[in-house]
Amino acid sequence: MTGYGRTTSTDAVLKYERDGLKGKVIKSQWAAAPNYICDSAAPKNIDVSFVGQPHGDRRQVVERLRREGIDIQTYGHGWGQRLNFQQMINVFNRSRINLNLNNAADARHKQIKGRNFEVPGCGGFLLTGVAENLYEYYKFGKEIAVFNSTDEMAQKIKHYLAHEKERAAVAKAGYERTMQEHTYAHRFDQIFRAAGLL
């Protein structure tokens, strides 16, 4: 195992190869851990939630959504409502739409983050900004929903709030895909196989 590195970035793999380290870096990805629990009995009493810090333009995005009449609840350091882990899981389960502003801190680097797997791993409906190679992990519009702009984000929030059965079907499919392919058991199996340990 000595001599191997791991990254979630395709660009990083190419840089390592350029620097003569081809075959020494394994591309893997974030995933859902076993303590991310799906609670199908939880009431869906939060229209839209965002859990994370108010980096970059996130405050402006949230205010824009509120001006559009969207009831969005924000949680995390900087918003005034910090959550412990179990409270965060509870929010994921209770939210009709879990919003992920993954590229708000720096729009140049749209990397996949843990939240892309954690929310579906709780059975939650995920609406997220498009990120590098995210299409390799989930079917857009079938297992998660994505947006490319604030206008599109607002439009999709309104659409999915108004179409409960469609939203529930996407959340269910996203959960099933996560359990089948995107847990840390899957990730470590892939890493160990790539390193020749299995």
Distances (CA, A) of 133 to 27, 101, 102, 139: 12, 16, 13, 11
> What is the phi/psi pair of residue 120, to 5°?
-60, -30
Show the low-confidence residues of the chain (pLDDT under 50). Answer: 1-2, 104-107
What DSSP character marks residue 198?
-
| Model pLDDT for residues 167-185, shown as the tens digit of each residue | 999 999 999 999 999 999 9
What DSSP character marks residue 10?
H
In words, the CATH class of domain 46-182 is alpha beta
| Model pLDDT for residues 77-89, shown as the tens digit of each residue | 999 889 999 999 9
CA atoms within 13 Å, Cβ hemisphere of 24: 10
Residue-range domain boundaries for the chain: 5-30+185-194, 46-182
Q: Where are the alpha helices (DSSP H) in the chain?
A: 10-18, 58-67, 85-94, 115-121, 150-162, 164-181, 184-194
Specify the pLDDT at position 106: 46
